[in-house]
Structure 1
Amino acid sequence: MSDELFKGSCHCGAVGFEVNGPPKWTAICHCSICRRTHSAPYAELCAYDEVRITKGEKLLTMYNCGGQSKEDRHFCSSCGSKVYSRLNHLGCSAVFLQNFTTPKHGADGKIDPRFKMGCHIFYGSGTISFYDDLEKYETLPKAFGGDGKTLPNDVHG
């Protein structure tokens, strides 16, 4: 485990968190649940074994799609920002890239290169096409328990 701390918070700052070192893996998730809970076409995930809540733990609320999801999504009950998700099926947690505040994560738009996204997941259920060099998995890569099937950049037109 790295001694380097990365910190973040919800939008209003009432809930704070920290993680050790750069993420185990990163992915852009296009699944329907991430799209709906984030009100966005995708979510940028940074995986960690542990997310430590440093402030506002009582403000965290958990949502699990009525028990239908393999993920427990934790959000700030004050501002509604998603803080992290426990990925029970993968044995880790995912922090959302845009919630990091240090180092150099935030309004200046500079993202530490160690946080570069590694692939697209659930690209088949997405709504927009990406023209980058990352693998685009229809569901999940084999390492995450999926079939590893990939799709072309322009699958969404």
Structure 2
Amino acid sequence: MSDTIRTGGCQCGAIRFRLEGEPFDSSVCHCRMCQKAFGAYYAPLVATGEAKLTWTRGELKYFQSSNHVRRGFCGDCGTPMTYEAADGIAISAGSFDDPALLPPVVQFGVEGKLPFVDRLSELPARHTMDDIDTAPFLADIVSYQHPDHDTEIWPPENGPPENQPPENKR
């Protein structure tokens, strides 16, 4: 097993995990079941393979989506976290602290692939702040999302993250 360690968690920070070793692969699944589970056009997943998965904070809630598959999610914020079947566990790629390190290498369920997905990169692209005129609330938006790294405690005991002393902003 490699010395590679990757961490991640849900949007609110109630669930955190650690993956030690190299995952089997990273993929996207276009099947209708994955589309609904993620509320998206496809599900990006990282198959853990022989890597050691440890849940370091919280406990998943589960939905049995078929006779062979259950899906884990955060019961507090709803973040999809796992796809679990007889062949192993896959973790939602976006829940890793650095998902850019796990680009997909294969597509599954292509019979359910929506016809426009391959053309998404052709759409006009805008940065978030490009919409400041039509969405002025963006100017002072504060994220309460868990940061992309492990923290000793979450949520912070004395309010939103911006009110935390430097030692709690890890």
Structure 1's consecutive aligned runs of 4 or more residues displaced over 4 angstroms after TM superposition are: none
Output the amino acid matched with 1:130.
Answer: D
TM-score, normalised to structure 2, is 0.63
Counterpart of 1:137 in structure 2 is none
Amino acid at match of 1:100: F
Secondary structure of the corresponding residue to residue 85 of structure 1: strand
Answer yes or no: is the 8 Å Cα contact 1:45–1:94 preserved in 2: yes
**Tell me, what secondary structure is at the counterpart of 1:13?**
coil
Paired AA for residue 13 in structure 2? G
Identity %: 27
> Which residue number in structure 2 is paired with residue 124 of structure 1?
111
Q: Who is 2:165 aligned against?
A: none
Partner of 1:63: 63
In the alignment, structure 1 segments of 5+ residues that lack a partner are: 132-157
Paired AA for residue 2 in structure 1: S
SS in 1 for 2:83: strand
More helix by share: 2
Amino acid at match of 2:111: G
Task: Give CA-to-partner distance per residue, 1:92-150, whole Å, 9 cap, x none.
Answer: 1101111011xxx16xxxx12xx12111111111213426xxxxxxxxxxxxxxxxxxx
Aligned residue identity for 1:16: R
Superposition TM-score, scaled by structure 1 size: 0.68
> Partners of 1:53 and 1:37 in 2: how far apart?
21
Per the alignment, residue 54 of structure 1 pairs with 56
- What whole-Å deviation, never above 9, does each CA across 1:4-24 have from its counterpart, x for those lacking one? 210000110110011113321
SS in 2 for 1:51: strand
Correspondence for 2:93 among 93, 97, 112: 97
Structure 1, 120-129 or 40-49: larger mean CA deviation = 120-129
Residues in 2 aligned to 1:69 and 1:130: alpha-carbon distance in whole angstroms = 31
Query: Which structure 2 residue ranges, 5 or more long, are not aligned?
Result: 120-170
Structure 1 vs Structure 2 CA RMSD: 1.6
